[in-house]
Amino acid sequence: MVGVLALQGDYEAHARALRSAGAEVKEVRTAPELETVVALVIPGGESTTMLNLLHRERLVEPLKRFSTVRPIFGTCAGAILLASDVTNPVQECLGVVDIGVERNAYGRQLDSRVVRLDAGELGEVEAVFIRAPIIRRTGEGVKVIANYNGDPVLVEQGMHMVATFHPELSMGTRVHGRFLEKVKG
């Protein structure tokens, strides 16, 4: 059972993509629900709002503990939350993946775009960027799977994955399938 954090953002699209890739999916809103899943997707949305909701639902510490034993995949705002440091502006994050992220670095909503990326062994993937962050720094042990304009946009570190784009809005399930491979171990 793969969980999708369902506090804010397009968690329903992630649930559809995960099901299409072969997973059973459960929406997660509380710490007890988090304990019932083997992996978690943190969707895009608005990272400040998501962080406030995580605090309100007392999920920050349970998520940090979860990340030490279970895989997490963060997309867009989820990438911001999983990062080790965040700028533009500085923001609290969970420190799960050793990356530095700049919020809204590709511009405003009007600057959103859809591009095709070479994702190495995953092949070509469609990437939907909506007010996306840029990964400005990758730490030791972070593997870059795909770049856009010279910046990493899909990375892995250990069992965790981060995408600065929205794979749940694209055609195909290659990115979600890659995460499910991590879940299976």
98-111 pLDDT, tens digit each:
999 999 776 655 56
Asked whether the beta carbons of 75 and 40 are under 8 A apart, the reply is: no
**Catalytic residue at 166?**
yes
**Catalytic residue at 176?**
no
Contacts of 179 (CB under 8 A, 6+ apart): 39, 41, 71, 73, 161
Of the residues 76, 93, 156, 176, which is catalytic? 76
Half-sphere exposure of 77 (CA within 13 A, CB side): 20
pLDDT of residue 108: 59
Of the residues 93, 160, 168, 176, which is catalytic? 168
DSSP secondary structure string, 29-72?
-SHHHHTT-SEEEE--S-HHHHHHHHHHTT-HHHHHHHHTTS-E
pLDDT of residue 20: 95
**Catalytic residue at 57?**
no
Pairing of strands 160-163, 72-75: parallel
Q: What is the pTM of this model?
A: 0.95
- Find the farthest-apart pair of alpha carbons in the chain and give their distance in angstroms, rounded: 41
- The CA-CA-CA angle for residues 117, 173, 43, to 5°, reads 85
Of the residues 14, 102, 156, 166, which is catalytic? 166
Question: What is the rounded average pLDDT of the residues 161-181?
Answer: 94
Contacts of 45 (CB under 8 A, 6+ apart): 8, 9, 10, 76, 77
Domain 2-184, what architecture? Answer: 3-Layer(aba) Sandwich (3.40)
- State what percent of residues in the chain have pLDDT above 70: 97
* Chain segment 5-36, per-residue pLDDT in tens: 999 988 999 999 999 999 999 999 999 999 99
Domain range list for the chain? 2-184
